[in-house]
């Protein structure tokens, strides 16, 4: 395991500010596109056309984006199965070598309590968080070998699946409760 600064393992730059449209060839990622489990959702009216600017910032395999401005700081590893995407200027684009760090691992570490705390400290001082690029590049993290990162991700992803299943079960129980209460209130003679 070796200690690295983010600036040593990744190229760091803000995504572009582009004018969005209701239809287009590339999804334009905004903070509101991510649910509580950090899954991108609903891209309605958030597309950009393919041009030189979009091509430069189009997400690639192993890329990670980090919300560097706003009320919610989080990292997300790009998945090619979601199609072409460009991060908005809300996000830092962290482009790293797969030989040093797996994008999913980098996102998981950036979302950890310790690094979230450190990110909040370097982004503090304003009403709305804004993480300075210089301080972000100096942020240190331990990075194990690729095989250890893969083992970590197996466990991490199992926990994420378990949490998502628990959330679905809770939502179904809420729906069942709502239905039963409505039925009981509609048919008062049943209780």
Q: Please check whether residues 58 and 78 belong to one and the same domain.
A: yes
pLDDT, residue 140, reads: 93
Structural domain that includes position 176: 145-191
Give pTM, 2 decimals. Answer: 0.85
Q: What is the pLDDT of residues 111-125, one digit of tens each?
A: 999 999 999 888 766
Q: Please check whether residues 124 and 38 belong to one and the same domain.
A: yes
User: How big is the CA angle at 86 (ends 124 and 20), to the nearest 5 degrees?
Assistant: 95
Residue 189: band (very low, low, confident or very high) from pLDDT cuts 50, 70, 90: low
Q: Please check whether residues 183 and 89 belong to one and the same domain.
A: no
CB 21 within 8 A of CB 107: no
Cα(142)–Cα(109) distance, rounded to whole angstroms? 9
Q: Please check whether residues 169 and 137 belong to one and the same domain.
A: no
Measure CA of the first residue to CA of the last residue in the chain; give whole Å.
63
**Which has the closest alpha carbon to 139: 66, 34, 51?**
66
Place of tokens 């649910």: 35
Q: Please check whether residues 7 and 77 belong to one and the same domain.
A: yes
CB 20 within 8 A of CB 46: yes
CA torsion sign for 26, 30, 33, 34 is positive
Angstrom CA distances, 101 to 9, 79, 135, 160, 161, stand at 8, 15, 20, 20, 23
CB 20 within 8 A of CB 90: no
Residue 52: band (very low, low, confident or very high) from pLDDT cuts 50, 70, 90: confident
Q: Please check whether residues 27 and 75 belong to one and the same domain.
A: yes
CB 73 within 8 A of CB 66: yes
Share of the chain above pLDDT 90, in %: 60
Q: What is the pLDDT of residues 18-38, one digit of tens each?
A: 888 888 788 999 988 888 888
Number of structural domains found in the chain: 2
Q: Please check whether residues 166 and 108 belong to one and the same domain.
A: no
């Amino acid at each position: 395991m070796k200690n690295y600064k983010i600036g040593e393992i990744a190229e760091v730059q803000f995504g572009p500010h582009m004018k969005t449209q209701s239809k287009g060839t590339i999804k334009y990622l905004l903070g509101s596109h991510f649910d509580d489990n950090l899954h991108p959702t609903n891209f309605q009216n958030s597309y950009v056309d393919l041009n030189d600017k979009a091509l430069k910032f189009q997400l690639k395999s192993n890329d990670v984006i980090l919300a560097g401005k706003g009320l919610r700081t989080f990292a997300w590893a790009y998945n090619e199965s979601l199609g072409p995407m460009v991060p908005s200027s809300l996000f830092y684009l962290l482009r790293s070598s797969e030989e040093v760090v797996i994008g999913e691992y980098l996102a998981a570490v950036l979302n950890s309590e310790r690094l979230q705390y450190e990110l909040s400290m370097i982004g503090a001082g304003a009403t709305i968080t804004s993480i300075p690029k210089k301080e972000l590049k100096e942020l240190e993290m331990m990075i194990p070998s690729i095989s250890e990162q893969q083992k970590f991700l197996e466990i991490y992803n199992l926990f994420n699946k378990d949490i998502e299943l628990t959330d679905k079960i809770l939502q179904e129980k809420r729906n069942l409760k709502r239905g039963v209460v409505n039925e009981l209130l509609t048919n008062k003679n049943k209780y």
